[in-house]
A and B are shown apart, each in its own frame.
Chain A
Amino acid sequence: SQKIEQNSEALNIQEGKTATLTCNYTNYSPAYLQWYRQDPGRGPVFLLLIRENEKEKRKERLKVTFDTTLKQSLFHITASQPADSATYLCALDRYNQGGKLIFGQGTELSVKP
């Protein structure tokens, strides 16, 4: 069956370091991959989208990579700040199924001052 997995354990890092979150998938060939941020008690907020033919995408301190051979996406936050503390969700899009997404369970990131 199709499966998406993110780091199940919370990631704790020091302010100023780079945070790297992982999204792995199996039995699936996504056309696009999206990353969302979710703060406690709130709905997810879109951050970045990367297409299958793109290796890397950047937005300010955020960088996403997409390796269709490894079936993996990495999400990096450089120069992390306590305000980056949140849960980060990856979501895979399906071919020919409109906007229906499959979400991973999310990774909680905590950035300590």
Chain B
Amino acid sequence: NAGVTQTPKFQVLKTGQSMTLQCAQDMNHNSMYWYRQDPGMGLRLIYYSASEGTTDKGEVPNGYNVSRLNKREFSLRLESAAPSQTSVYFCASSEDRGYSTDTQYFGPGTRLTVL
């Protein structure tokens, strides 16, 4: 099993450009998440999806959109990138059997720089 995969690994954008970060998991998990990680800030939740077809905002959703394409895939879109979105983005998934104890499995991250 590959676990959680993310593409691309690195990306440089100019202010105003758009892009989509891709995430896929092969563990048949119900829930998927997008986080950003900035120095000294820890991981902050951008959006999450509790099941196929549902998405909800996290702590820092402004400037982002998401799509839960199917059970495996959860994409994050930046419509008009800003320098403040320079960060490392992690996708994660969890089985989420309805309890709050599910652990999360993370992808390797996408390092995004917005100039």
A→B interface (CB under 8 Å)? 4, 8, 31-32, 34, 41-46, 49, 51, 89, 91, 93-101, 103-106
| One of A34, A43, A96, A98 near B106 (C-beta < 8 A) | A43
Contact B103 A100 (CB under 8 A): no
Contact B42 A94 (CB under 8 A): no
Contact A32 B42 (CB under 8 A): no
Contact A42 B100 (CB under 8 A): no
Residues of A near B90 (CB, < 8 A) are 43-44
Bound CA span A99–B94, Å:
7
Contact B102 A99 (CB under 8 A): yes
**Known contacts A43-B108, A44-B106, A97 near B43 by CB under 8 Å:** no
Nearest-neighbour CB distance to chain A for B102, whole angstroms, equals 5
Q: Is B24 an interface residue (CB 8 A)?
A: no
Q: How many residues of B contact A (CB 8 A)?
A: 27
- A interface SS class: loop
| One of B31, B33, B58, B106 near A45 (C-beta < 8 A) | B106
Bound CA span A103–B40, Å:
11
* CB-based closest 8 A-B pairs: A43-B106, A105-B42, A103-B43, A46-B103, A103-B42, A99-B94, A93-B100, A99-B102
Bound CA span A97–B57, Å:
12
Bound CA span A8–B41, Å:
11
Contact A100 B45 (CB under 8 A): yes
Residues of B near A31 (CB, < 8 A) are 100
Residues of B near A51 (CB, < 8 A) are 101
Residues of B near A45 (CB, < 8 A) are 106
Bound CA span A95–B100, Å:
7
Q: Is B104 an interface residue (CB 8 A)?
A: yes
Nearest-neighbour CB distance to chain A for B74, whole angstroms, equals 13
Contact B96 A98 (CB under 8 A): yes
Q: Determine the residue in chain B with the shortest Cβ distance to A51.
A: B101
| One of B41, B45, B50, B94 near A105 (C-beta < 8 A) | B41
Residues of B near A101 (CB, < 8 A) are 45, 104
**Known contacts A49-B101, A99-B94, A99-B102, A42 near B108 by CB under 8 Å:** yes
Q: Determine the residue in chain A with the shortest Cβ distance to B45.
A: A100
